[in-house]
Amino acid sequence: MRAMILAAGRGERMRPLTDATPKPLLMVQGKPLLVHHLIALEKAGVTQVVINHAWFGEKIEALVGDGVAYGLQVSYSPEPAGGLETAGGIFQALPLLGNSPFIVVNGDVWCDYPFAALPSQIQGVAHLVMVDNPAQHPEGDFSINNGLLSNASDNALTYSGIAVFHPGFFAKCQPGRYPLAPLLRQQMVKGQVSGEYYHGVWCDVGTPERLDELNG
């Protein structure tokens, strides 16, 4: 499988740490957060990775290069200032991701999820990994019912930022900025989004305080 790491965010909540550094390059336990993802993806058998970027993208390219140092083939999808949001960014990168389902990982999450456990073929157009709701997001995002995700608020869990998407998920997208959540909700109504619950190490590295906790 191919994979895409989302690394185009500005990281406003992480300022001043991100004033001169893209958030995925912040150090977590001795390595840039992005490098942890690259290592985990290679370990899972992924060979080709696409990284999108907008804020200090040249620093990401300088660190990762062509990916050979990590046992990967890495290509890049540069975005304009401010980025294209999640769906817009993935849509722009589709020509680099092939015609089969691919992994998507948020560049600003820390986890020990085994990427090899993700399905290479999915029923529907998306498969999301869900986790327990963190303190900063107690209401959660979506519920799992018989392996399918829904918009129901009962027992809602939080989207981890780890997923598998079929290219067809983005068939009706147009170039430009576009968030992911509305597309997910549309496909959930059609029963096209599956999900799994992961009870392991996971953190949205969204603030300096959470970064400090990981490095404590």
pLDDT at 153: 77
Distance separating alpha carbons of residues 10 and 22, to the nearest angstrom? 7
pLDDT at 11 over 80: no
Distance separating alpha carbons of residues 6 and 108, to the nearest angstrom? 8
Q: Is residue 199 very low, low, confident or very high in pLDDT (cuts 50, 70, 90)?
A: very high
Domain 2-215 superfamily per CATH: Spore Coat Polysaccharide Biosynthesis Protein SpsA; Chain A (3.90.550.10)
pLDDT at 12: 79
pTM: 0.94
Distance separating alpha carbons of residues 132 and 46, to the nearest angstrom? 26
What is the residue extent of each domain of the chain? 2-215
Which helix (H) or strand (E) segment holds residue 37: the answer is helix 33-43
Reported as a single tens digit per residue, the pLDDT across 19-28 is: 888 999 999 9
Tell how strand 27-28 and strand 31-32 pair up: antiparallel
pLDDT at 151: 87
pLDDT at 72: 98
% of residues, the chain, pLDDT over 70: 100
DSSP assigned state of 198: -
Closest CA to 48 of 73, 25, 66, 23: 73
